[in-house]
């Protein structure tokens, strides 16, 4: 898919823009998600129009499709969101806690800020700042692109993400969530795909398919590519790669309550040792993410 970034630094260049649309018929997003021992995708789609506080709003239905250890596929209804586009200001608003808040401000310039709310109540808010601006050519449409982050001290927002007209967030979830403060896990992660009735599917490369529950189809068993021993163990475990070449991996050891104990980012060439001698006896979970984005989980017994 043709995707061209036009930098604003190219002064004197004329860029022809089409009028932005938001949530037209068929608008559908797929976002990845990963929550401790559960992973899959969140599907968000436009279902109907409605009127709220005299505003013509779009209704978005959110559904989470996931796999949870030790082998449960489930579908969770996450509820609805209500948004509308003010075409005069080019701002997308979200109905939240009885009022409309700015979700995406496509009229913002570099250095401009706006306030956003999270998913867990009106007390959770943060300030988003525009770091840079560009344009993307996607499906022959030239769309404005904002690169944003949160100001220091903000709990809510986006760590560092690109937001594109018509589509929204690219490398983080559609709606802002916790970025630097301790809180519940968010609903979703990076965008996989977007499409609508007049906009062919836009694929970011985040996942193999829009509706792919990561890792289950490609690695049904952790033993397919790594070996973990001894298990049970009284002191430590060794993680050994079965692949011929080195592999970038994230390794996380979790308690039986899904609390993170250890986390490692490493290039697994042969083997890696995790010392568990100071941990209490019981069940633990080893979660491994490979460089292809596949997740594997194995139960570890500490004697």
Which element (helix H / strand E) includes 196? strand 191-196
6 membership: H or E segment, kind and range: strand 3-7
229 lies in the same domain as 86: no
159-169 residues labelled b (16+ CB within 10 A) or e (exposed): eebbbbbbbbb
What domain range is 35 assigned to?
Answer: 19-104+114-122+167-203
Element (H, E) at 113: strand 113-117
The CATH number of the domain where 247 resides is what?
2.60.40.3080
Q: Is residue 161 part of a domain?
A: no
- Count CB neighbours of 139 within 10 A: 15
Residue 134 in any domain: the answer is no
Question: Tokens standing for 263?
Answer: 């986390």
Residue 214 lies in a domain: no
pTM, entire model: 0.70
Residue 218 pLDDT grade (very low, low, confident, very high; cuts 50, 70, 90): very low
296 occurs within a structural domain: yes
Task: Flag whether 278 is in a domain.
Answer: yes
Is the same domain home to 177 and 289?
Answer: no
Residues 42 and 185 in one domain: yes
Q: In this structure, how many other beta carbons lie within 10 angstroms of the beta carbon of residue 5?
A: 10
Q: How far apart are CA 92 and CA 104, in angstroms?
A: 5
Element of type H or E holding 260 = strand 260-268
Tell me the pLDDT tens digit for each residue of 233-279.
999 999 887 665 556 777 888 887 667 888 888 776 678 899 999 99
- Secondary structure of residue 181 in the 3-state scheme: coil
Name every residue whose Cβ is closer than 8 Å to that of residue 140 and which is 6 or more positions away in sequence: none
Same domain, 80 and 226: no
* pLDDT tens-digit series, residues 221-231: 445 567 888 99
| pLDDT one-digit tens code per residue, 153-181 | 888 889 889 999 999 999 999 999 887 67
Whether pLDDT at 2 is above 50 = no
61: confidence class by pLDDT, cuts 50, 70, 90: very high
């Amino acid at each position: 898919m043709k995707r061209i970034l036009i930098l604003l630094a190219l002064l004197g260049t004329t860029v022809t823009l089409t009028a932005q649309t938001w949530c037209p018929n068929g608008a559908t997003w797929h976002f990845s998600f990963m929550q401790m021992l559960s992973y899959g995708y969140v599907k968000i789609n436009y279902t109907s129009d409605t009127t709220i506080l005299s505003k013509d709003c779009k209704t978005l239905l959110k559904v989470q499709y996931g796999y949870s250890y030790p082998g449960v596929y489930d579908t969770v209804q996450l509820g609805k969101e209500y948004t509308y586009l003010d075409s005069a200001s080019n701002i997308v608003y979200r109905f939240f806690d009885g009022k409309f808040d700015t979700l995406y401000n496509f009229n913002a310039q570099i250095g401009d800020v706006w306030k956003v709310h999270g998913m867990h109540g009106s007390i959770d808010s943060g300030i988003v700042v525009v770091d840079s601006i560009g344009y993307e050519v996607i499906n022959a449409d030239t769309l404005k692109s904002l690169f944003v982050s949160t100001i220091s001290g903000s709990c809510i927002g986006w760590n560092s993400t690109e937001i594109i007209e018509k589509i929204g967030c690219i490398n983080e979830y559609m709606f802002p969530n916790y970025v630097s403060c301790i809180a519940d896990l968010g609903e979703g992660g990076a965008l996989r795909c977007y499409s609508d009735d007049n906009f062919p599917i836009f694929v970011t490369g985040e996942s193999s398919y829009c509706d792919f529950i990561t890792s289950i189809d490609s690695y049904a068993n952790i033993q397919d590519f790594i070996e973990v021993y001894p298990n049970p163990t009284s002191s430590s475990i060794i993680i050994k790669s079965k692949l011929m070449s080195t592999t970038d991996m994230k390794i996380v050891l979790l308690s039986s309550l899904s609390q993170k104990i250890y986390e490692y980012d490493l290039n697994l060439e042969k083997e890696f040792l995790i010392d568990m001698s100071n941990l209490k006896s019981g069940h633990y979970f080893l979660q491994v993410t490979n460089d292809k984005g596949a997740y594997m989980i194995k139960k570890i017994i500490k004697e």
